[in-house]
Chain A
Amino acid sequence: MENRHFDVIILGGGAAGLTAGIYLSRAKMKTLIVNEGTAGGQMVLTHEIANYPGVESTGGYMLGSTMKNQATSFGAKIFNNSKILSLDLTSDVKSIELARKGKFTSDAFILATGGRSRPLNVPGEDEFKGRGISYCATCDGDFFQDKEIIVVGGGNSALEEAVSLTKYANKVTVVHQFDHFQALEHYIEEAEANEKIEFIMESEIAQFYGDDKLTKVKIENMRTHEFTEMDIDGVFILIGYIPNTELFEEIVELTDRKEIIATRDMETNISGVFAAGDCTAKKYRQVTTAVADGTIAGLAAVEYLSNKK
């Protein structure tokens, strides 16, 4: 059992989790990072990061890889692409069971599970993913050369990507649930000035149709509740992010938006359980803020463990 026991287990291998891993392993804490996805987390989704101080401009994947290498070089162990079967955060000795790897225990946990793209959750969405439905304009835009597409959303990313997708598509229709946008003025102005972009406001996609490819959507007007159908080649869903906290519901204290509530020292309501990064309740979600949270959570966990010994 000895080599299956860690001082700290970190859930999440994004900017916050990797930073906590760097600080903990440098402080000679036996550290395991359990990550459901690829090391780097949302940084991997970012082609270019130009606002990380000290680094002029870099690919998100590169920044994530460097953080991962720093954590492992100081001794942290990382399991990527892991599936969690069970989790016990409340006992004095905490534990986690992973598919294909078994059970591990620790004296403290750091929750740094970040967030993910919000899906629409309507019929046909899973079926047509990659066959007309995309969540990444920079990845899949060029499949829609001279085609007609929809961008769902009314925030900064939706409007920015709607403009960038006009490089490929003949026509881009922005479908947004409200009668106004939640984006910065210059994104709105740029989208409204683009002749290839049309807007369907106060409306939501209710269903996706097609055979082996997406061909049509059903749109509901949220004011009149009337349905219309529209032939379409592609739909980009850019409606924001949700925190990855399902696993902690009923265990760790969450806000009504399902974000983890943490103190300034990143402590949760459970002794020995800390939280960091985009999964916590906070206003600004950036790599810098995730890294700052990860630093504090790592150092607070070190202090917690030394007080415990």
Chain B
Amino acid sequence: MTLQTNLPHVETAEDLEKLINENENVMVCCGRMGPMCLPVYDIMDELSSEYENVKFADMLFDTPEAAIIRNHPACASFAGLPFTMYYKNGKVVKATTSIQSMEQVTEILDDKFAK
């Protein structure tokens, strides 16, 4: 099962491992089709042409496969959807919880994935 967004979808933990190991900079938003998540997918969709050095994807929060994100230590204190993960060379460099604005997302992208 996948989300109904324009972003590439990560379906399994194995897919996620592959994506983050084959790409230097990756942003994955793990959520549902809800009001706190939709704005973040929308922002990522809009930024994907601007940040060609970053791979953007989403993952459905409720699949067992998403345990790789749900149970990540960086998300231990999270209690708000979506969980948004930023990976550099396969490692989590930042994770955010709940809705984020365009400014918050671009600030992280510029800081962690500077061209």
Contact = CB atoms under 8 A, between A and B. Distances in A.
The 7 closest A-B pairs by CB, nearest first: A130-B98, A130-B80, A130-B97, A212-B77, A143-B79, A45-B35, A81-B102
A204 to B, nearest CB: 22
A136 B34 contact: yes
Q: B-side binding surface: helix, strand, loop or mixed?
A: loop
Interface in B1-56: 32-39, 42-43, 46, 50
Interface of A: 37-39, 44-47, 59-61, 80-83, 100, 129-134, 136, 138-140, 143-144, 212-213, 234
A139 B42 contact: no
Contacts of B34: 47, 136, 138-139
Given A129-B80, A130-B80, A139 B36 contact: yes
Given A47-B34, A59-B33, A81-B46, 20 more contacts: A47-B35, A61-B33, A61-B35, A80-B42, A83-B102, A129-B98, A130-B80, A130-B98, A130-B99, A131-B77, A131-B80, A131-B97, A132-B79, A138-B34, A139-B35, A139-B37, A139-B80, A140-B81, A143-B80, A213-B79
Contacts of B43: 81
Contacts of A144: 79
A213 B102 CA distance: 24
Contacts of A81: 39, 42-43, 46, 101-102
Size bracket, chain B contacts:
20 to 34
A131 B103 contact: no
Contacts of B97: 129-131
A281 B106 CA distance: 35
B30 to A, nearest CB: 13
A216 to B, nearest CB: 15
Interface in B95-111: 96-99, 101-103
Contacts of B79: 130-132, 134, 140, 143-144, 213, 234
Contacts of A213: 77, 79
- Of A45, A133, A139, A144, the most chain B CB neighbours within 10 A belong to A139
Nearest to B96: A130
Given A61-B33, A134-B80, A212-B76, A38 B38 contact: yes
A37 B78 CA distance: 23
A97 to B, nearest CB: 16
A213 B78 CA distance: 8
7 contacts: A80-B46, A81-B42, A83-B103, A129-B98, A136-B34, A140-B79, A140-B98
A150 B97 CA distance: 20
A138 B96 CA distance: 19
Contacts of B98: 129-130, 134, 140
Interface string B66-89: 000000000011111100000000
A130 B35 contact: no
A37 B102 CA distance: 8
B81 to A, nearest CB: 5
Contacts of A140: 36, 79-81, 98
Contacts of B37: 139
B99 to A, nearest CB: 8
A240 to B, nearest CB: 16
Given A81-B43, A81-B46, A134-B98, A44 B81 contact: no
Contacts of B46: 80-81
A252 to B, nearest CB: 24
